[in-house]
Amino acid sequence: MKPTFPETDLSLDSEALSNSDAARRALDYYLNPAPVTFGPDEPLLVARQGLSDAQATAHATNLLRCAAATACESADGLQGVPRDLALASMHMINMARAMLERTAANQDQA
């Protein structure tokens, strides 16, 4: 025996949908999300919760090592003042890395 269903009009009228508040809210939610705003004092990057000072120092040291390598590699293809600037950047990065390594060594001794 074949099931029977009541007669219903399931045609969707685009005019009715465009006037529907629910449809407009759904489309806005998926197609026009509210922009994320940050306050002027909010940091763009935040270290994860529970990160110890030693872990943060080690991670910062590794980031500075990568930055120094990037500056050095980019200096290879340059000449004159641009090369000097890239090498100066590498030197400052290495100095900052040395300060972090010293801080880490002092924390280990304490």
Q: Are 61 and 72 a contacting pair, CB within 8 Å? A: no
19 lies in some domain: no
Q: How much is the average pLDDT of 46-55?
A: 88
Residue 102 lies in a domain: yes
Q: Side chain identity at 11, as an amino acid letter?
A: S
Percent of the chain with pLDDT over 90: 40
- Spatial neighbors of 68 by CB under 8 A, at least 6 apart, are 90, 93, 94, 97
Instruction: Choose between 63 and 12: higher pLDDT.
Output: 63
Instruction: Tell me what pLDDT residue 37 has.
Output: 79
Most confident of 29-33, 35-39, 60-64: 60-64
**Token output for 29:** 């939610």
Q: Quick check: is 74 in a domain?
A: yes
What does the pLDDT read at residue 16? 67
Q: How many domains does the chain have?
A: 1
Query: What's the domain range around 58?
Result: 53-109
User: Is 1 a domain residue?
Assistant: no
Across the range 34-38, mean pLDDT stands at 77
Is residue 86, in this structure, part of any structural domain at all? Answer: yes
Residue 26 clears pLDDT 70, i.e. is over it = yes
